[in-house]
Every structure is written in structure tokens, then in C-alpha cells.
Structure 1
């Protein structure tokens, strides 16, 4: 199936003027259970998002963003036909990252409490898509491998221009002809089930910053508690 070519082929979320003062956490829970995804506008405070954006831009200026690959461990490879973004993993060493990771820790606790998901840890990276960059259709985790369970994507683009591409496309299934398009507006958080939701990032015509993250289970191997997160290089 081809990627959506225009707005007539997809449902678009959200208008940049859209605001909601109190997004209920229950809406997130209900949507994850019923549809496998949820898009939360204005989910993270402006001050936190701005600090994250400035840190990501600093990494870009210092040349610390590296080409992203596909696969994990020994199967990791670079493939410009599949994805072309650049990334840098968060290590939690700066106050800015700590503020964001604290919010994700709270989300992890609440998801575990309400949905009994058994989420064990969270990993995330900055992502930069420059003009022409994209990421073709994929799942974030192979089904039944209990690897990545819930995906989050926080968008850090305060002056995003509609019609410039770069949308996240969420498909209900591989035959879906009316997918959801999520524009990467500042402070919007997309949350979806990693094994269930097929998705892609459309080619962008302008630079686009985000933080992609994954809540994971504890995959114990013998006496080792969970393989190192850095092996996961999707």
C-alpha cells in the first residue's frame, strides 16, 4: 500500500489552534485499550518542551546527532531507503532530561497501575528529521517478543507550518486506507502500543525535532536482569 498522498487519504490530527485545558488520563487509557493509540495535545509544559528543544539544537550544532539505524545488536544496520533521521539517546544527566524523564516515570507508574502492563524501564532519544528525511512503515517491536510495549513521541516544533510534510501516520492495520495523520506540533505527545500499531513518518520539507521513547518489559536472561538498553537501536 502506498503512503497517503494527500489529506483526502487520511484523517488529520490536530489543528494548530486546538487546545484542551484538561485532557483526562482516562481518555488515554480508553483509547489505548480500544484503538491502540492516543494523541495528547499540550501534554508537556511549554517550559519543559522549550528546554528540550534547545538541548536538541545544541546537540545538532555540536555534531552529536548520529544517523539512526534499524535492527538490534549484531543485526543493526544503516539503510537510507527505510529511515533517514539522526538521533541521540538521552542519558538523564542534565536537569532538562531529568525533568522529562520524571514525567515519563509518572506515566509508566500510572499505566502499570491501571492497565497492569508490567512496564520495567523507559528509553528514549532525540530525533531530527531534516528536509527530505522520512521513516517508512514499521512496527516498533516484533509481536510476542515482549520487548518494547508502549511507544511515546513528543514533538518539539513551536513554529510548525502545515502542509510541509513530516507527519506521523498511524495505521489501524496493514490494509488501512484512511490512516491518522499527526502533525508534529509543539508539546503534542503521541502514545501507542509498540507491537500493534503500524506507522511511518512522511518526508518532511522542514527540520523537525522530537523525542521517541519506549516503555519496556524486563527480559531476564539467566542471572542478568534485562539486556542492556543500548542494544535496542531501532
Structure 2
């Protein structure tokens, strides 16, 4: 498995939520509803996450699906990637979740978003895999509010493909293309932006995550997933 981060590296990650970077993320979200930022994560964390994902066994991944709970199903005409949920049981995973917690707290303070919980998974797209155009949440039907993607691909060239294409609305056919380079972080409002993942010519690694609001009501508990 990946080598654990040293104390100094962990401290650097803990200090990584500097207000200037987080303010830039908040400003972009407020202005545009999305943010694309190169090298947003601390480099030690990015390298550790990349090494950790590549060291995971194939058995730790499962075929990705569509929908939640009783509505969950697999549809290879829509998506063909594999996922492994991050539960914080590893040191690297716990540090990643802590970074996202710091981001959540900052966005709640700056933008009053009411973000309550966060869920995320490693995603592996094999050569030719894809995820067709979709929303992460439908208006009024989900508690996913803010989507996050970070990329873990070293020495990625535009000719390798695998771009995330973020569309501004249903009428948009051009979209904003994001090359899945190591350390790039993308955030966008889950209900507002349809998006897709284009096929790549090599293995493509990333983390996908969602910040959620709390929709617990009465005796119905709304778990993270």
C-alpha cells in the first residue's frame, strides 16, 4: 500500500486550508456556480492519494451504478467506471476527509450553504470507460448540493482524453472541458450543471464527492449514503 504521510507532511495538509485559496473557491462558486482550480490540494496529500488508489486491489472496487437505495441499478449504457468508497479508515483517506471538512466549514461561513455531511469515493475509469451526460442531483429531489472532483493522474496529456465536460445548462452543447491532471479540483452546484466524463486512452483515476444538506425528518434518518 501507499507509504503513510510523515508528521511534517500531515501538518502541511492540516495547514493547507489557507483562507486565500478557500476564498478563491468561495468567490468562484458565488460568481459562476462552479470552480476549476489547478494544484488546489497540498502536494503531499495529492501524491499520497494517487499512490493509495493505485495500490488498491481490484476486489476493493465495485461497478458504479445510478440512483440511491432501492432505486440503485447498474446501467453500462450510461456509466462504466468502478468505485471504492472512502470511509476514513486509512490515514490518507482520513486526511482527505479532514481537508474536505475544512472546505465545508469555510463555504458554510462564507456562502451560508448549510452543508452538513460529505461522501466520496475513488473512481477508476479503464481505457474506453465513460459516464454520459447527467446531473448529480435533480431540483428538489436530492440533498446533494455541491459536487467535488479531484484528479490523481500523473503526466496526463490532452491527447489522453478523459476530460470532464461541464455544461452550463441543458441548452449548452460546448461545455467547459477539464483535463484530469494531477491535483486539479473541480466543484460545482449539483443541481445546476449537467456534465459527462469522456473516454480516455489510458487508466484514469479520480475522487468524486458530494457535500450534502441534512434532510432528516421525524423518524426518517437521512444517512450520508
TM more than 0.5: yes
Structure-2 residue corresponding to 1:107? 103
Q: Counterpart of 2:172 in 1: which secondary structure?
A: coil
Of 11, 25, 33, which aligns to 2:22? 25
Structure-2 residue corresponding to 1:182? 178
Native 8 Å contact 2:137 2:145 kept in 1: yes
Separation in structure 2 between the aligned mates of residue 25 and residue 178 of structure 1, nearest angstrom: 28
Structure-1 residue corresponding to 2:32? 35
Structure-2 residue corresponding to 1:168? 164
Of 18, 28, 47, which aligns to 2:44? 47
Separation in structure 2 between the aligned mates of residue 52 and residue 34 of structure 1, nearest angstrom: 30
Structure-2 residue corresponding to 1:136? 132
Q: How well do the aligned residues superpose, as a CA RMSD in angstroms?
A: 1.5
Structure-1 residue corresponding to 2:222? 227
How do 1:74-85 and structure 2 match up within 5 A? Answer: 74-85=70-81
Native 8 Å contact 1:146 1:217 kept in 2: no
Of 144, 148, 151, which aligns to 1:148? 144
Structure-2 residue corresponding to 1:118? 114
Deviations 1:31-89 (A, max 9, x none): 21222110011011221112112221122x34211110001111111111000000010
Separation in structure 2 between the aligned mates of residue 33 and residue 114 of structure 1, nearest angstrom: 9
Count of paired positions: 207
Displacement of 1:120? 0.5
Structure-1 residue corresponding to 2:13? none
Separation in structure 2 between the aligned mates of residue 107 and residue 25 of structure 1, nearest angstrom: 7
Separation in structure 1 between the aligned mates of residue 204 and residue 20 of structure 2, nearest angstrom: 25
Native 8 Å contact 1:130 1:206 kept in 2: yes
Larger RCO of the pair (alpha carbons < 8 Å, separation 6+):
1
Native 8 Å contact 2:65 2:79 kept in 1: yes
Q: Counterpart of 1:200 in 2: which secondary structure?
A: strand
Tell me whether 1:73 sits opposite 2:69 in the alignment: yes
Gaps of 5+ in 2: 1-18
Separation in structure 2 between the aligned mates of residue 23 and residue 210 of structure 1, nearest angstrom: 25
TM-score, normalization by structure 2: 0.87
Tell me whether 1:64 sits opposite 2:60 in the alignment: yes
Gaps of 5+ in 1: 1-21
As a proportion of its length, which structure holds more helix?
2
Deviations 1:184-215 (A, max 9, x none): 10011001000111100011111011010000
Deviations 1:122-166 (A, max 9, x none): 000000001010000111111123510011101001121221210
